[in-house]
Amino acid sequence: MPAPRRDTRGIVDAAGLLAHVDFRRPEPAEPLRHHVEQYWLIDWDLPQPYVSHVVPHPAVHIVFQQFEGQDSFVEIAGIQHGLFTQKLEGRGRVCGIKFRPGGFRPFAPEHPVTHWTGHRIRQPAALPDIDPTTILAPPDEKARIEALDAFLLRLAPHPDPQADLAMTLVERIRTDRTIRRVADFAAAEGLSVRLLQRLFAAYVGVGPKWVILRYRIHEALERAEAQRAVDWAGLAADLGYADQAHLVRDFTTTVGMSPKAYATTAGPGASRSGTP
């Protein structure tokens, strides 16, 4: 079982977000770690609105949310195809559960994970009736984490070898840069392309090609934020692109701006004031 992620891959202008909110990622209780990568807790108290942007991971989230002036609520957030945007203003709190890619289905086995893809469903019937304030209201962070643990443990997921396989395959894609083509990956795993695609639809929520592409973009984002001068042609080659133009196209389509423009606005030394 891989350790929880501690990088900020996927967060557009991560330094800007961290300058505006208090963001933590505690681990769940040990019995839950096979399926759940981490919790994510955000608190904010902003004099001016701030808009956060995230290039989503291939992961489903359960999110308890409290916005000033609104009733608290819980939602299942399926994998979003495009850029995820959230406006934050006033005071608020979020307690989120990030499942490992492939790890959500045992908690809601009635539907393939594609059922949730592209959707954010409030108070879903797939979850037990719960008052979101039981998660959000405790002033002590330890109590909120324990409430999240208790909530998930009540769902009592059953062992599912197919979920285990899906989690293993996605983690392999994430960590192995040499995986570039779905057909080659399927053959290396002893699966047909059709069987691999069906497994990903049922347990991940997106296809293997989408996962390969998304992890490439995450790495490109991280490079752009960390380095003052990025060798985009060299990075394109490292990530398995035929040429720099293909990387620029995919990056621009996903993030909404070119790699060069992003490096200027979010890279080292960029301004962190206002909305990104």
Residue 109 has pLDDT above 60, yes or no: yes
Per-residue pLDDT at 223 = 81
> Regarding the domain delimited by 161-266, which CATH topology (the fold level of the hierarchy) does it fall under?
Arc Repressor Mutant, subunit A (1.10.10)
Per-residue pLDDT at 87 = 94
Q: Cα(267)–Cα(242) distance, rounded to whole angstroms?
A: 25
Residue 271 has pLDDT above 50, yes or no: no
Q: Of 227, 231, 255, which Cα lies nearest the Cα of 241?
A: 231
Q: Which two tokens stand for residue 107?
A: 């908690």
Q: Cα(220)–Cα(192) distance, rounded to whole angstroms?
A: 30
The larger pLDDT score, comparing residue 47 to residue 241, is at 47
Residue 225 has pLDDT above 80, yes or no: no
Q: Of 245, 271, 216, 264, which Cα lies nearest the Cα of 9?
A: 216
For tokens 């809601």, the residue is 108
Q: pLDDT, tens digit, for every residue of 176-189? A: 988 989 999 999 99
Per-residue pLDDT at 3 = 62
The answer to whether 97 and 66 have CB atoms below 8 angstroms apart is no
The answer to whether 226 and 214 have CB atoms below 8 angstroms apart is no
Residue 29 has pLDDT above 90, yes or no: yes
Q: Where are the domains of the chain?
A: 11-155, 161-266
Q: pLDDT, tens digit, for every residue of 197-221? A: 999 999 999 999 999 999 988 888 8
Per-residue pLDDT at 188 = 96
Largest CA distance in the chain: 55
Residue 235 has pLDDT above 80, yes or no: yes
When pLDDT is averaged across residues 23-37 and rounded to a whole number, the result is 96
For residue 222, what pLDDT band results from cuts at 50, 70 and 90?
confident
The larger pLDDT score, comparing residue 269 to residue 90, is at 90
For every residue of 49-98, DSSP letters joined together read EEEEEE---S--EEEEEEETTS--EEEEEPPPSS-EEEEEEEEEEEEEEE
Per-residue pLDDT at 1 = 65
The larger pLDDT score, comparing residue 201 to residue 128, is at 201
Domain 11-155: which CATH class?
mainly beta
